[in-house]
Amino acid sequence: MTQFSEIPSDLKVYFNGGFIDWKDATVHVMTHALHYGSAVFEGIRCYKTPKGPAVFRLKEHVDRLFNSAKMYRMLPNLSREEFIKAILETIKINSFDECYVRPIIFRGTGAFGVNPLDNTIEYAICCWKWGKYLGEEALEKGVSVQVSSWNRIAPNTMPALAKCAANYANSQLMKMEAVKNGYTEGIALDVSGYVSEGSGENIFIVRGQTLITPPLGSSVLPGITRDTVIALARASGYEVIEGLIPREMLYIADEVFFTGTAAEITPIAFIDQIQIGEGRRGPVAKHLQENFFAVINLERKDTHGWLTFV
């Protein structure tokens, strides 16, 4: 895991319409988002390709960011197109050939209290080098996870479709529990006891030639990589079902894997100490990984327009 102390201090951050030094990208201790979780954000990867750095599914990420902001009545004073341009400029000014990008929109200072409507709406874009989220070897060997004792948020309590900072208090509880118990990650169930997602990843199971992933109604984030995998799998002839997954189906699946911008496509080798398949990456996950990285490495045509070159 990258520590901020390891990030070069001469990086530039796009903050409220202009560039400032990394060390100066700070907010006041009374910032509303710090006290009440009033922030929405994205995680985006810029990949090194034979034709230069390219951002993966940039438009879709910015669309989700603005949709999250809309749900919380905190749209910024710039358009989606301007935000896309600012992300590309941030990567360019920092001379990255590959990086992780973190745009955030948040409530700043102003009135103090639960009501956020009189607070400023601020935004920032940071980028830095960040390796494989679940470990360099995880893409092949897989990870060991547990079903968490913490459920995902129930419908009509908080919007699960929004990538809001407040939702990640739930994710932190899952992640800490898993790590303290000796696992890499946790899998949450929804309020009805069906499989939902990981602390920061969507999940798929494989049975034969069929992939099953929980529906959005199971309190899952509409993942960009999730959508990518669905498209790649269907193009390869696999059946893909968005359907309810009972917990016990995890244990008897041929394969299980996580998807996400940070995790990419990461196989799950063990769940609750029960071996999944061969206990490492299975053939379906391997095929999807190869197709995913073939697009990024320009080994196959980007027919979907997923890459935006810096």
Could you give the residue numbers annotated as active site? 163
Rounded Cα distance, 32 and 100, in Å: 26
Is there a contact between 132 and 264 (Cβ–Cβ < 8 Å)?
A: yes
Is there a contact between 99 and 127 (Cβ–Cβ < 8 Å)?
A: yes
The residues, ordered by sequence, that sit 6+ positions from 149 with a Cβ below 8 Å of its Cβ are 177
- The beta-strand segments (E) located in the chain are 12-15, 18-21, 39-41, 44-47, 54-56, 99-107, 121-128, 143-147, 185-189, 195-198, 202-207, 210-213, 239-242, 255-260, 264-271, 274-275, 307-309
Supply φ then ψ for residue 135, to 5 degrees.
110, 145
Is there a contact between 235 and 288 (Cβ–Cβ < 8 Å)?
A: no
Rounded Cα distance, 279 and 267, in Å: 9
Structure tokens at 250: 């995890």
- DSSP class of residue 153 equals P
Cα dihedral 91, 22, 60, 295, rounded to 10, equals 40
Strand partners, 39: 106
